[in-house]
């Protein structure tokens, strides 16, 4: 696979490092609307070519796949252009700003017969894959109740920088800058985490989204701080199980933590994923009678980057794909609809 990395900001380095270390893969070019940034990125990562526009990169050619690491609202137009030029695409999450736009991207990729995947990066967590295996294997019986949260605290803590002065945080608080708040940014991850682990799809949901007053008149410079800071969903799943999924940037004591509890008729699993450590525990068998938990070993798993390279090599689409990301987008749209209409079915 010869790859173009499109968008050379913060997250692109992870793509360059992962693909750069993969046998059979060449990161052939880097592209950013900031041509100097693309050139510096190419130099840092030993990439032969750099471009200041996607049109120039496509005209020059020399690659068969694209890693799209542009900001959220840019995914849709640039991915359609890449697919139109016959390139396989790995796109960053969230796939688009709405389900309708995500559907358009899915249709275009499927019609063109091109590999289309989305970097829902927590799929790379071995404990998530193991939790799915345990639940599918019947370790908890029939799932009855799910509790999941994605916890960040950068609106309180300063260890990731100062949210009220740094543009990399300020744009995430402003819908005019393409943000759909904490729900769009990391809510999508925890929705994927919970539904992937359980293999269950929500059939209805209720949601509350909240934007707190954080600055005089809700503005800092060009940034209107109108995107949601906290989101709470209550859901019913296809098998009748209920769940609560929530996320906030005010969860003090947690920099970046995903927690998942799945309770069934015969047992429960608990997954705690944090920077630097992860724990998966099971309470099952006779242990359900004394609430004893056992840590579960989790073997390494293939990353989305590896799965994308394999999909391009084989010509067979990989997971998670655009169709799945579109479904997640439908849940997000339902949350926003719920906020305005107070009732939504999905
Ligand atoms: N999967 C994950 O865990 C994860 C983590 C962080 C970020 N992300 C996602 O990655 C994407 C990028 O985030 P980031 O933090 O790197 O943002 P960023 O702002 O640091 O970088 C984005 C880059 O894209 C460039 N760009 C903008 N429009 C472009 C265009 N039309 N063509 C080419 N380049 C263009 C910008 O100049 C910038 O250099 C976002 O969608 C974000 O949600 C995913």
Q: Which atom of ligand 1 is nearest to the CA of 72?
A: 41
| Mutation choice for ligand 1 from 70, 124, 247, CB with most ligand atoms inside 8 A | 70
What tokens were used for 239? 């098998």
Q: What is the pLDDT along the chain (346 residues), one digit of tens a residue?
A: 999 999 999 999 999 999 999 999 999 999 999 999 999 999 999 999 999 999 999 999 999 999 999 988 899 999 999 999 999 999 999 999 899 999 999 999 999 999 999 999 999 999 999 999 999 999 999 999 999 999 999 999 999 999 999 988 999 999 998 899 999 999 999 999 999 999 999 999 999 999 999 999 999 999 999 999 999 999 999 999 999 999 999 999 999 999 999 999 999 999 999 999 999 999 999 999 999 999 999 999 999 999 999 999 999 999 999 999 999 999 999 999 987 666 556 6
Q: Are 94 and 180 in contact (CB under 8 A)?
A: yes
Return contacts of 279-288, CB within 8 angstroms, 24+ apart: 279/127, 280/127, 280/130, 280/131, 282/134, 282/139, 282/140, 284/139, 284/140
Phi, psi dihedrals of residue 339, rounded to the nearest 5° = -60, -35
Which residue minimizes the CA distance to atom 1 of ligand 1? 121
**6, 8, 9: which to mutate for ligand 1, most atoms within 8 A of CB?**
9
Look at residue 1 in the predicted model and tell me its pLDDT.
97
What does pTM read for this prediction?
0.93
Residues sharing a CB contact under 8 Å with residue 325, sequence separation 6 or more, in sequence order? 91, 93, 94, 95, 102, 118, 120
Which ligand 1 atom sits nearest the alpha carbon of residue 38? 39
* Residue with CA at minimum distance from ligand 1 atom 21: 9
Residues with CB under 6 A from ligand 1: 6-12, 31-34, 37, 54, 69-72, 74, 78, 92-93, 119, 121
Distance CA 194, CA 206 (A): 16
Q: What is the pLDDT of residues 10-49, one digit of tens each?
A: 999 999 999 999 999 999 999 999 999 999 999 999 999 9
Taking CA atoms, 10 is separated from 15, 127, 133, in Å, by: 10, 26, 33
* Ligand 1 centre distance from Cα of residue 85 (Å): 21
Query: Do residues 49 and 42 lie in contact, with contact meaning Cβ atoms separated by under 8 Å?
Result: yes
Whole-number Å distance between alpha carbons of 283 and 119:
31
The enclosing H or E element of 237 equals strand 230-237
Mutation pick for ligand 1 pocket among 11, 42, 247 (CB with most ligand atoms within 8 Å): 11
The predicted-structure confidence for 210-242, as pLDDT tens digits, reads as follows 999 999 999 999 999 999 999 999 999 999 999
CA dist., res. 182 & res. 79, Å (int): 23
- Spatial distance between the Cα atoms of 123 and 232, rounded to a whole number of angstroms: 22
Protein residue with its CA nearest to atom 36 in ligand 1: 7
């Amino acid at each position: 696979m010869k790859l173009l990395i499109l968008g050379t900001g913060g997250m692109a380095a992870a793509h360059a490092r992962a693909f750069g270390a993969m046998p059979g893969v060449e990161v052939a070019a880097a592209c950013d609307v900031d041509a100097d940034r693309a050139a510096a990125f190419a130099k840092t990562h030993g990439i032969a070519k750099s471009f200041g526009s996607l049109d120039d990169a496509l005209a020059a050619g020399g690659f068969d796949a694209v890693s799209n690491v542009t900001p959220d609202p840019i995914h849709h137009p640039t991915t359609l252009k890449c697919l139109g030029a016959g390139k396989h695409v790995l796109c960053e999450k969230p796939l688009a700003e709405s389900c309708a736009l995500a559907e358009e991207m899915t249709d275009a990729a499927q019609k063109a017969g091109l590999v289309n995947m989305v970097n829902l990066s927590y799929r790379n967590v071995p404990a998530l894959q193991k939790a799915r295996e345990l639940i599918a294997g019947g370790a908890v019986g029939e799932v009855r109740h799910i509790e999941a949260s994605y916890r960040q605290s950068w609106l309180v803590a300063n260890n990731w920088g100062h949210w009220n002065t740094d543009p990399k945080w300020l744009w995430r608080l402003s819908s005019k800058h393409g943000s759909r708040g904490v729900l769009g940014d990391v809510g999508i991850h925890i929705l994927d985490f919970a539904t992937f682990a359980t293999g269950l799809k929500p059939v209805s949901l209720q949601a509350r989204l909240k934007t707190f007053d954080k600055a005089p008149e809700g503005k800092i410079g060009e940034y209107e701080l109108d995107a949601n800071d906290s989101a709470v969903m209550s859901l019913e799943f296809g098998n009748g199980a209920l769940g609560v999924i929530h996320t906030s940037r005010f969860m003090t004591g947690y920099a970046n933590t995903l927690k998942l509890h799945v309770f069934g008729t015969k047992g429960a699993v608990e997954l705690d994923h944090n920077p630097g450590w992860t724990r998966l525990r099971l309470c099952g068998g006779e242990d359900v009678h004394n609430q004893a938990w056992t840590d579960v070993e989790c073997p390494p798993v293939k990353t989305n980057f590896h799965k994308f390279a394999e999909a391009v090599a084989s010509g067979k689409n990989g997971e998670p794909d655009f169709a799945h990301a579109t479904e997640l987008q439908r849940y997000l749209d339902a949350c926003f609809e719920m906020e305005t209409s107070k009732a939504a079915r999905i």
